């Protein structure tokens, strides 16, 4: 009988000649998926325990396999394992080594499973834990943002629309806007867990298996909540990959937005914040420069994460059921997106600890651009029984007047104001005060100091 020697491909009896050399070089995924070794070994141990419980393999075989797998795990963690490209991926590399350690009985490990269910089991377990790690990092960013917000409740700056001064806000309110975004990012990752908790193991190549396996047992062992429902769907499904890549993309988009914001604020033209030396770099030619490279890195990285999402969407487009080699690339894409986001979150957290607002300049900028115009219109509605539109027009006339006289609002006299509306009294002058303006926005979610304090407390309690 033909012998399948352990140092040859598992399919060497059927496929006699070696595969194209160039394909052997590029078609393997071991350099990428070796990162799944722990999940793969955990999955295999649960699988053989189940096979034994179901009387599909003997006690002795189960124990030998588990002994071998534990030894392999140690070898890999201690960097004593030689990964071989000729064995394609982590699954075959481990199986081959198991043969070396325990001999022929290693051959029982692949009973009632396929690499098709094995790989997504590993991947789902991996994404579950990376989701947890990402959420811990997002929490750190939220904490740092809360600390910064707490220190800047009284820091007044212009809120912008179209990057033109719009209405006065507290810097803390601005920062708390990002707390909302990062909080939603966390929820987005958590929402993905539902699908990640469905256990693929046991659907084998695509049809399920004739062995009397117990999928509920491996479900429990591996921390899943239920087995998947359809074997063909299970090996073809990469929706959970898309969900992860999308969540990463949204979070990195939020980081990109605030990075852009801070780049603008740090520009010499705006000069609203200072960055400490830890988060800037210099220029090779211009000695005076302190460039916000870290922020630019963060802004740019959303390009990478969107690219990864679109790569995966494109790989899946039009792909028939069930498994195809096309799917092998999913892991590289996931790891890249994961690493990009985790690095970005760490860098962003450093930025938050290394910037100071230039409060004077913020206030100065808030004084320009007739930022309390809307407050005047509101005042006229409340005190001079006008419709909002009428009040808007009167206020526009006040803005025109101030502009003509080259004055800020708070430099206008009551006499000058009375030219626009003779009924105006001294009261109106209070409306020009920026702190009043900010604190008048008491509606829920508005920028009043009290509202912000409550919101900060609410998030701090959530921790
Ligand atoms: N390394 C492969 C992958 O990630 C494992 C699945 C291989 N299955 C197969 N039928 N060739 O996609």
pLDDT tens sequence across 258-297:
999 999 999 999 999 999 989 888 888 888 888 899 999 9
CA distance 268 to 271: 5
Mean pLDDT, range 104-129, rounded to an integer? 97
CA distance 407 to 19: 80
Closest residue (by CA) to atom 1 of ligand 1?
Answer: 89
Contact 66, 109 (CB under 8 A): no
Overall size of the chain counted in residues: 463
pLDDT tens sequence across 402-460:
999 999 888 999 999 999 988 899 999 899 999 999 999 999 999 999 999 999 999 99
Mean pLDDT, range 90-101, rounded to an integer? 98
Classify burial at 48, counting beta carbons within 10 Å of its beta carbon; exposed 0-12, middle 13-18, buried 19 or more.
buried
Q: Does 89 have pLDDT greater than 50?
A: yes
Mean pLDDT, range 126-142, rounded to an integer? 98
Contact 452, 153 (CB under 8 A): yes
Give percent above pLDDT 90 in the chain.
86
CA distance 366 to 364: 5
pLDDT tens sequence across 167-218:
999 999 999 999 999 999 999 999 999 999 999 999 999 999 999 999 999 9
Helices (H), 368-413: 373-383, 388-404
> Closest ligand 1 atom to the C-alpha of 89?
1
Q: Does 389 have pLDDT greater than 90?
A: yes
User: Which of 86, 113, 116 has most ligand 1 atoms within 8 Å of its beta carbon, as the pocket-test mutant?
Assistant: 116
Q: Does 1 have pLDDT greater than 50?
A: no
pTM > 0.85: yes or no: yes
- Decide if 91 is catalytic: no
- Decide if 254 is catalytic: no
Q: How confident is the model at residue 328 (pLDDT cuts 50, 70, 90)?
A: very high
- Residue 15: the pLDDT is 83
DSSP state of 440: T
Contacts of residue 445, Cβ cutoff 8 Å, sequence gap at least 6: 451
CA distance 243 to 170: 35
CA distance 249 to 136: 17
Contact 332, 32 (CB under 8 A): yes
- Residue 5: the pLDDT is 73
Packing angle of the helix pair 171-191, 239-266 (nearest 10 deg) = 170
User: Which of 85, 323, 329, 334 has most ligand 1 atoms within 8 Å of its beta carbon, as the pocket-test mutant?
Assistant: 323
> Closest ligand 1 atom to the C-alpha of 328?
12
Contact 425, 413 (CB under 8 A): no
Three-state secondary-structure class, residue 158? strand
Contact 188, 247 (CB under 8 A): yes
Mean pLDDT, range 129-150, rounded to an integer? 97
Domains (ranges, CATH) in the chain? 19-111 (1.10.275.10), 116-158+170-206+226-364 (1.20.200.10), 368-461 (1.10.40.30)
pLDDT tens sequence across 42-75:
999 999 999 999 999 999 999 999 999 999 999 9
Q: How confident is the model at residue 7 (pLDDT cuts 50, 70, 90)?
A: confident
């Amino acid at each position: 009988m033909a012998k399948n020697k352990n140092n040859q491909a598992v399919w060497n009896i059927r496929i006699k000649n070696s595969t194209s050399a160039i394909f052997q070089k590029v078609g393997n995924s071991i350099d990428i998926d070796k990162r799944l070794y722990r999940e793969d070994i955990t999955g295999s141990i649960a699988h053989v325990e189940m096979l034994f419980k179901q009387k599909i393999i003997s006690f002795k075989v189960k124990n030998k396999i588990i002994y071998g797998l534990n030894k392999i795990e140690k070898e890999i963690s201690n960097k004593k394992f030689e990964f071989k490209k000729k064995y394609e991926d982590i699954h075959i590399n481990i199986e081959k080594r198991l043969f070396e350690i325990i001999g022929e009985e290693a051959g029982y490990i692949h009973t009632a499973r396929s690499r098709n269910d094995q790989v997504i089991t590993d991947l789902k377990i991996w994404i579950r834990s990376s989701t947890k790690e990402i959420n811990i990092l997002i929490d750190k960013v939220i904490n740092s943002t809360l600390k910064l917000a707490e220190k800047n409740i009284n820091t007044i700056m212009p809120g912008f629309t179209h990057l033109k001064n719009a209405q006065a806000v507290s810097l803390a309110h601005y920062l708390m806007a990002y707390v909302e975004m990062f909080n939603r990012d966390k929820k987005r990752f958590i929402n993905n867990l539902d699908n990640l908790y469905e256990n693929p193991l046991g659907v084998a190549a695509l049809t399920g298996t004739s062995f009397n396996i117990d999928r509920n047992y491996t479900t429990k062992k591996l921390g899943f909540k239920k087995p998947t429902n359809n074997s063909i769907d299970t090996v073809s499904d990469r929706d959970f990959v898309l969900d992860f890549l999308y969540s990463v993309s949204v979070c990195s988009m939020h980081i990109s937005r605030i990075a852009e914001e801070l780049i603008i604020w740090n520009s010499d033209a705006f000069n609203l914040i200072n960055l400490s030396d830890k988060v800037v770099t210099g220029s090779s030619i211009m000695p005076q420069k302190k460039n916000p490279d870290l922020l630019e890195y963060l802004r740019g990285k959303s390009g990478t994460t969107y690219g990864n999402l679109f790569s995966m969407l494109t790989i899946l487009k039009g792909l028939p059921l069930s498994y195809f080699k096309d799917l092998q690339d999913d892991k590289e894409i996931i790891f890249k997106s994961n690493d990009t986001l985790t690095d970005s979150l760490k860098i962003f957290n450093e930025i938050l600890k290394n910037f100071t607002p230039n409060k004077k300049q913020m206030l100065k900028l808030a004084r320009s651009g007739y930022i309390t115009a809307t407050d005047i219109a509101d005042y006229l509605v409340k005190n001079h029984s006008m419709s909002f539109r009428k009040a808007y027009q009167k206020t526009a006339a006040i803005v025109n007047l101030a502009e003509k006289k080259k004055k800020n609002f708070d430099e206008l006299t009551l006499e000058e104001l009375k030219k626009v509306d003779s009924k105006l009294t001294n009261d109106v002058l209070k409306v020009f005060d920026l702190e009043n303006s900010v604190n008048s926005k008491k509606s829920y979610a508005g920028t009043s100091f009290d509202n912000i304090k409550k919101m900060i407390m609410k998030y701090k309690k959530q921790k």
